[in-house]
Amino acid sequence: MPTGPIGLFHMLAIQAGGGYWDKGTRLSINHQANARAMQYLVDLTSRFKAAALESGTLRRESINTGRAAADVGPTWKVSGGLRNDAPDTDGRWTIQPMPQWSASGKAVTTSQGGTGMAVLKDSRAKDVATDFLIWEHGSKAVLHDYDARQVWPTYKKVYDDPRMKEPIPWFNNQRVGPILREAADTMLPFYQGVWWPELAAAAGKHITAGLKGEKPVRQALDEAQAEARAAIEAAGGRLDASGQLQ
């Protein structure tokens, strides 16, 4: 299990109803749902010994030797990530939706990321660039990358293509496409915002300390909230007493 401000903790926190930005505008690192997600992971590693904190090297060793039975992450991780890190595990994996916090509530999922494409408004060729991006990400052009590297597309409509419904040998001949397509309709938004570098740098060490059990969960998140707020304001951001961006 990775530590730090991104990854499993953040995904579970969003899925539980939290995240770092409430509706993308109010700093909410110490949200109760975030505390619930962090405490769950702390218990998973320290109390129940059902997971372990890891580095990139340890993760590769764990999945190659069979010590790791499961992993959680975005679609790129189940595209080329596993194949690069554990090529000898071909055919031993299957895909399932993320576990849910409630058996009675609506099934939800989220993602991890932050990479995006943009067209500069002052570009001399912004109309051409915009058309290209729409074609590249909003048409069947995304299937070129699927054919080449089996990178699962983020454009939902292409999941109607027959190729996306075929069994995948790497995943024990599971039909992965329909599972990802269903999950796409339950995906909660991931708010990152312009202050992500300040937030991640300031809050990361406290989140890591909380996940490692070096601080109580509530203390770790309160300190992450306070230091992230100070870093954002030092960089020119303005927040009111509740953490709402001004």
Give the Cα separation of 206 and 214 in Å (integer).
9
Confidence of residue 103 (pLDDT cuts 50, 70, 90): confident
In the block, tokens 């975005």 appear at 74
pLDDT > 70 fraction of the chain, expressed in percent and rounded = 98
Give the Cα separation of 228 and 203 in Å (integer).
6
Q: For the segment 68-100, what is each residue's pLDDT rounded down to a tens digit?
A: 888 887 777 777 778 888 888 999 999 998 889
Region 23-47: mean pLDDT is 95
Mean pLDDT of the residues in the chain: 90
Nearest of 37, 31, 35 to residue 242 by alpha carbon: 31
- What pLDDT, on the 0 to 100 scale, is given for residue 111? 83
Dihedral of the alpha carbons of 203, 209, 211, 214, in degrees to the nearest 10 = -150
- What pLDDT, on the 0 to 100 scale, is given for residue 114? 61
In the block, tokens 């500069």 appear at 120
Region 120-128: mean pLDDT is 92
Q: Is 84 exposed, middle or buried (0-12, 13-18, 19+ CB in 10 A)?
A: exposed
- What pLDDT, on the 0 to 100 scale, is given for residue 213? 94
Region 156-174: mean pLDDT is 94
Give the Cα separation of 228 and 222 in Å (integer).
10
Confidence of residue 56 (pLDDT cuts 50, 70, 90): low
Q: Cβ distance 224 to 214 under 8 Å?
A: no
